[in-house]
Structure 1
């Protein structure tokens, strides 16, 4: 599948309705994720982005962890809606976990003290770009995805389950799969209120 850049930007949407039907091979997903990780820009070329891709039982295990973690803190009378939402993510084909290696960030802070307060901000900005690049790439492959943030609630169990280095900070989770329901309607604020141009 191929799209021009502008179409890819427009078509990338939050898709909650996903299934685990294989419409793209795991090998192809690995390729597009690695490509995004390699080519996403980072301040001072720090390359602090880290990614874990989960398929099958590993993907299911993440959302089991998430559900049981939430069960402990969400009131029982409200848990049905939470469980339904988490189960919708678990019904997908896989999940991408996005991390930032704090050892890299802290190393740069020590090397360049003048910018030390900026490195965590720049790290988050680049992580956002990486998330967007992966998300758009998955859309180009015909997959639907959404971006979730159950960190830091699930951080410790995720690190233990998948032997994640202690310096990797979990930033987001992206469940993906075959779209089975379209994205909702999207409203746009007037661009002249959001963009200023001076000539």
Structure 2
């Protein structure tokens, strides 16, 4: 029995202490990320997942947008100072993957397969989750850490303008990635008997 993939999955953790000391080139990182998304299955092979990969100044610009936008959302200056520290940890990363669902494709399939129309949006979300997991895992397999954030929808409008995002692309997540400056804490698991049932 080959368990290598399980070992790779164990390497995929939420890494919050990220840096810019990445040995891979931007081209190599792009190849990994695009390949992981491309090979992710989607219902009816609809391929509803869209990504924008941000490096350098564009990466910094995203997290500046988040920090500035949150200033009007938090209840006090003290809380905002803590928020800025958190956002700064994401900005300290090497790059960011923005994940979108193309709603125009979902809408087309809702018309093409009306029997399943109510399920197509949730299925698109499942495909997106698979893509995020695949990107996260392929990065981890190359010693690049990542975590997944969700500052949408409050940043959607500014992100759309800043990065020329099509109107039909709906922002669903942000994944900062970079060098692993500090590993994740040990992961704990619930009892297998609570999680799994095997019937014969």
Q: Do the structures match in fold with TM over 0.5?
A: yes
> What residue is the counterpart of 2:8 in the other structure?
8
> What residue is the counterpart of 1:36 in the other structure?
36
- Structure 1 CA distance, aligned partners of 2:103 and 2:163? 18
SS across alignment from 1:176: strand
SS across alignment from 1:153: coil
Report Cα offsets for 1:80-134 as digits up to 9, x if no partner: 1111110000000000000010000000011111111100000000000000000
* Deviation of the 1:38 alpha carbon: 1.3
* Deviation of the 1:4 alpha carbon: 2.8
SS across alignment from 2:176: strand
Work out the number of aligned pairs and report it. Answer: 197
> What residue is the counterpart of 2:25 in the other structure?
25
Report Cα offsets for 1:127-152 as digits up to 9, x if no partner: 00000000001111111100000000
SS across alignment from 1:179: strand
- Structure 1 CA distance, aligned partners of 2:67 and 2:182? 23
- Structure 1 CA distance, aligned partners of 2:128 and 2:36? 11
Contact 2:19 2:179 in 1 (8 A): yes
SS across alignment from 2:122: helix
> What residue is the counterpart of 1:58 in the other structure?
58
- Segments of 5+ residues of structure 1 without an aligned counterpart are none
- Structure 2 CA distance, aligned partners of 1:43 and 1:22? 34
* Deviation of the 1:165 alpha carbon: 0.4
Runs of 4+ in 1 over 3 A off after TM superposition: none
Contact 2:22 2:144 in 1 (8 A): no
* Superposed counterparts of 1:19-168, under 5 Å: 19-75=19-75, 76-168=77-169
- Segments of 5+ residues of structure 2 without an aligned counterpart are none
TM, length-normalised to structure 2: 0.96
